[in-house]
Structure 1
Amino acid sequence: MTAITLVQGDITRESVDAIVNAANSSLLGGGGVDGAIHRRGGPAILADCRRLRASHYGKGLATGRAVATTAGELDARWVIHTVGPVYEAYGNDPSLLASCYRESLKVADELGARTVAFPAISTGAYGWPMEDAARIAVETVRTAETAVEEVRFVLFDDTAYDVFAELIR
């Protein structure tokens, strides 16, 4: 069974096998968690993302899918990039948000990762309501068939932490 832990803080400071990036479909960096991971991880992450775009993901990564790159200078072996759904566009389909977690865990299993740090995917600029996003995240991780031993939700502020903590109890 996968242990679920909560941390309030900066996901780029976590020491884990894999850090999940709430990426945009271009895989070329952006704002929020995506920008922070690219900045702290350094140019090796962007170089890997460019190679992915030049080969398998010429049109970008589809919503709900996941792919791994090096973690560059982060204290992790890999970054798993996943594209969360924009709430206004996909609000009626929580399966896309669940797919981000499920597909990221699948990639983690393929890599042999045992510890994975997730942000609260789609809750920032993509507008997914925190309570609903947290419920989907926790339920998906709890029911996923995975060899990952620990999923760590790394939450940026008090509000997000409190919402996740209520669900974990």
Structure 2
Amino acid sequence: MLPLIIFAIIMGFCVASCGGENSPVGKLLANLNDIIMKFVGVIMTIAPLGLGAYFANLIGEFGPQLLSDYGRSMVVYYPLCLLYVVIFFPLYALFAGGKPALNRMLKYIFTPAVTAFATQSSAATLPVNKEACDAIGVPKDVSDLVLPMGCTMHMDG
């Protein structure tokens, strides 16, 4: 995945140096980006049905054994995640932008957090993270770079 990211960065610099969004390739890439974001949005709309059917099949096939294996992991993982979200996310926001940043974070964190929790996928949260970043006021060039890279490299979308 890292070579793909490096290629994308170099390609972005090359497109920017040849006219950016106003060049024919820049317009093509912007249109493709819009199409892909719409496609991901459609998939995210129907994904809960597919995941629900998949897990119902797994529980029907493996029964209580599956639930106990996942249950032990969740007893450790979810409380630690909750502590991290409750303690460190507000501290990051306070450190980065003070009380106004903390208020904006608290106002817009719910939808990306619920999406991440429901899908268990940082890639699936990209569209709602992008919307939240736009609403918070994160510059478009920053969110367009940081969100996909963070999702891919650190799995922290």
Higher relative contact order (CA 8 A, sep 6+): 1
The structure number with the bigger radius of gyration is: 2
When you count helix as a share of all residues, which structure comes out higher? 2
TM-score over 0.5 for the pair: no
Report the TM-score when normalising by structure 2.
Answer: 0.29
Report the TM-score when normalising by structure 1.
Answer: 0.27
When you count strand as a share of all residues, which structure comes out higher? 1
